């Protein structure tokens, strides 16, 4: 009998594809959609493995119990579980985006770039600001992004590095599963 976690490997692949979409996102909405996809795909990696093999594969439960303890204690795993819950369950915005505006043109007054990439300028009305969206602002793009909720053990690492490390951790877990249970006769 040959055991191979096809569905779990597909979710790891989807996580990598989502991370690539985060790299190439042109606006905040694309970046956030790719992040949600990444968080769901990485969560499903372990859920599917557990759903497919718990109480079905001899030795799996003991192996999984040890891995479960590790995953629950690992700071990177805890960070991504917390981040997933914040984004998926609570709708929180956990990323900061740095933008750049290049090109000819003049804009006066304070500027803001909204989470979706819309450029706003301030107009003074009755001693307060009113933020007005600017149309056709060319040349603004995402130059970097990061998580705004990183734990102390991860503050010196950029978001893309953390995402890659998390995918590698999950992939090594699945590869360990394959080495242990892949060829059962």
* pLDDT band (50, 70, 90) for residue 127: confident
Residue 38 predicted with pLDDT over 60 = yes
pTM of the model: 0.81
Of the given ranges (72-76, 79-83, 136-140), which has the lowest mean pLDDT?
Answer: 136-140
Report yes or no: 149 and 83 within 8 Å, Cβ to Cβ: yes
**Where residue 136 falls among pLDDT bands split at 50, 70, 90?**
low
Q: Which of 54-63, 142-151, 153-162 shows the lowest per-residue confidence on average (mean pLDDT)? A: 142-151
Residues 6+ apart with CB under 8 A from 75: 151, 153, 154
Domain residue limits, the chain: 6-97+148-181, 103-138
């Amino acid at each position: 009998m040959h055991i191979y976690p096809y569905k779990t490997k597909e979710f790891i692949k989807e996580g990598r594809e989502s991370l690539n979409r985060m790299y190439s996102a042109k606006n905040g909405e694309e970046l956030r959609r790719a992040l949600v996809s990444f968080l769901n795909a990485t969560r499903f990696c372990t859920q599917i493995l557990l759903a497919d093999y718990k109480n079905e594969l001899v030795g799996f439960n003991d192996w999984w119990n040890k891995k479960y303890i590790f995953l629950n204690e690992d700071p990177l795993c805890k960070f991504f579980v917390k981040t997933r819950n914040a984004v998926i369950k609570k709708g929180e915005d956990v990323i900061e985006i740095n933008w750049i505006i290049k090109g000819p043109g003049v804009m006066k007054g304070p500027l803001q770039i909204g989470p979706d990439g819309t450029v706003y300028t301030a107009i003074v009305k009755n001693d307060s600001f009113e933020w007005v969206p600017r149309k056709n602002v060319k040349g603004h793009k995402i130059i970097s992004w990061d998580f705004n909720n990183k734990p102390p053990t991860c503050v010196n690492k950029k978001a893309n590095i953390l995402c890659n490390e998390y995918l590698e951790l999950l992939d090594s877990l699945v590869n360990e599963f394959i080495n242990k249970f892949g060829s059962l006769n």
